[in-house]
Amino acid sequence: MEREVLELPSVLASVAVAEERARCLAAASALDEDDRYRLGLAVREAVANAVIHGNRLDPGTPVRLLLTHDAHRITVTVGDRGPGFTPTPAADAPVNLTPSGRGLTLISHGVDALRVIHRPDPPGCDVLLVKQLRKDTTMSQLSVARRQDGDVTVLDLSGRILIDGGSIQLRDAVRRELEDGHHNLLLNFADITGIDSSGIGELVSSYTTATNRGGRVKLVNLPSKIQDLLAITQLLAVFETFDDEKEAIASFN
């Protein structure tokens, strides 16, 4: 079994470092692209939780990342100095319409086993992630291009909607349209390659902001892996989603 230990400062930049390391390990272990994405997302969420909630964004308190792998599985352990938490099964959780609180659901979706270990000495919490090997990138920020079709504003999104870039760009784009009086917003996800819990939270926040201002936000062309994430976070029951843009635009009328 091979192992690697990383000590990462508790800053948001460490989230991307951990995700990229996990994806590289997944690629070296011959996981396909979908499984690389899922494992990377799970590690991203676990490290984000450790940085923000466990170590309270204290750069002097490191997050410990232990990666091991053999012919059968990849195991990632994320350790922090926080009090830990008790996982709640996704099926038992109510629909979450707040901007946060979905990280654990996305972690569970991305791995085959999840275990939370509370350490008495030194005090802290370890989150253990296991990905079985079933043999068969560069971080990009979000770009937004707008089109107008009658009274519907179409925002063509491209890239990834993440805690360290894309989620803020999505927020700014939606709020700018609302402030300019454009209240019928259709978000085109055709060129979105990834989203994390922060991105999903910003999506919910945009929906809530638009609704409170008398507007509507709908989604079109969701990639299957993102549709899966919205399904497990129970948000497909909240958003109107479409596979056809013309049908989506017509639905506003």
What integer pLDDT is reported at residue 97 of this predicted model? 55
Strand-pairing partners, residue 127, are: 78, 116
Please answer whether residues 162 and 168 qualify as being in contact, where contact means their C-beta atoms are separated by less than 8 angstroms. no
**Cβ contacts of 141-146, under 8 Å, gap ≥ 24:** 141/165, 141/166, 141/169, 142/166, 142/169, 142/170, 143/169, 144/169, 144/170, 144/173, 146/173, 146/177
Q: Are residues 120 and 49 in the same domain?
A: yes
**Residue 59 domain boundaries:** 2-132
Q: Is residue 138 part of a domain?
A: no
How many domains does the structure of the chain reveal?
Answer: 2
User: Are 116 and 166 in the same domain?
Assistant: no
Phi, psi values for residue 167, rounded to 5°: -65, -35
CA 132 – CA 153 distance, rounded (Å) = 43
The CATH number assigned to the domain holding 183 equals 3.30.750.24
CATH number at residue 105: 3.30.565.10
**CA–CA distance, 77 with 130 (Å, rounded to integer):** 9
Q: Residue 95 has what pLDDT?
A: 58
Q: In terms of domains, do 35 and 57 share one?
A: yes
Is residue 11 domain-shared with residue 126, that is, in the same domain?
yes
Q: 3-class DSSP state for residue 168?
A: helix
The pLDDT score that the predictor gives to residue 234 is: 92
pTM of the model: 0.62
Query: Looking at 132, 166, 184, which one is the last position of a domain?
Result: 132
- Looking at the fold, whether 127 and 147 belong to one and the same domain comes out as no
CB 62 within 8 A of CB 17: no
Are the C-beta atoms of 220 and 186 separated by less than 8 Å? yes
Please indicate, yes or no, whether residues 122 and 218 belong to a single structural domain of this protein. no
- pLDDT at residue 7 in the model: 97
For residues 102 and 207, what is the distance between their CA atoms, to the nearest angstrom? Answer: 16
Based on the fold, state whether residues 38 and 104 are members of the same structural domain.
yes
Residues 41 and 155 in one domain: no
Distance spanning both ends of the chain, measured CA to CA:
59
Reading the chain (253 residues) residue by residue, the pLDDT tens digits are 789 999 999 999 999 999 999 999 998 888 888 889 999 999 999 999 999 999 999 999 999 999 999 888 999 999 999 876 655 555 455 555 565 567 788 898 889 999 999 888 778 999 999 999 864 444 447 899 999 999 999 999 999 998 877 888 899 899 999 999 999 999 999 999 889 998 999 999 999 999 999 999 999 999 999 999 999 999 999 999 999 999 999 999 8
Question: Which of the listed residues 111, 132, 153 is the one where a domain comes to its end?
Answer: 132
Do 230 and 193 belong together in one domain?
A: yes
Domain shared by 41 and 103, yes or no = yes
What pLDDT is attached to residue 120?
84
Listed residues 98, 132, 166: the one ending a domain:
132
Q: Name 148's Cβ contacts closer than 8 Å, sequence gap at least 6.
A: 154
